[in-house]
Amino acid sequence: MTTASHPRDALFSGEKPFPILPACEHFAGSEKLIGKAMDLQADYGPIFDITCDCEDGAAAGQERGHAEMVARMIDSARNRHDRAGARIHDPSHPAWRQDVDIIVGQAGRRLAYITIPKATSWQQAAEVIAYIGEAADKAGLDRQIPAHVLVETHGALRDAFAIAALPGVEVLDFGLMDFVSGHHGAIAASAMRSPGQFEHALLVRAKAEVAAAALAHGVVPSHNVCLNLKDAAIIADDAGRARREFGFLRMWSIYPAQIQPIVQAMQPDFDEVEDAANILLAAQDKDWGPIQYRGELHDRATYRYFWEVLQKAKITGMPLPDEARRRFFAD
Q: Which residues are annotated as a binding site for Mg(2+)?
A: 152, 178
Q: Do 164 and 211 meet the contact criterion of CB atoms below 8 Å apart? A: no
Q: How many CB atoms lie within 10 A of CB 315?
A: 19
Sequence ranges of the binding site:
87, 152, 178
Q: Phi and psi of 135, rounded to 5°?
A: -65, -40
- As a whole number of angstroms, the distance between CA 286 and CA 280 comes to 10
Residue 170: exposure state from Cβ atoms within 10 A (0-12, 13-18, ≥19): buried
Q: How many CB atoms lie within 10 A of CB 190?
A: 12
Sequence ranges of the binding site for substrate:
87, 152
- As a whole number of angstroms, the distance between CA 276 and CA 185 comes to 47
With b meaning 16 or more CB within 10 Å and e meaning fewer, what string describes 69-89? Answer: bbbebbbeebbebebbbbbbb
**How many residues would you count in the chain?**
331
What 3-state DSSP class applies to 114?
strand
- As a whole number of angstroms, the distance between CA 223 and CA 196 comes to 15
What 3-state DSSP class applies to 318?
coil
- As a whole number of angstroms, the distance between CA 206 and CA 103 comes to 31
Beta bridge partners of 108: none
- As a whole number of angstroms, the distance between CA 208 and CA 56 comes to 27
Peptide bond preceding 290 in cis form (omega within 30 of 0): no
- Please list, in sequence order, all residues whose beta carbon lies within 8 angstroms of the beta carbon of residue 38, skipping any fewer than 6 positions away: 50, 73, 76, 78, 79, 80, 84
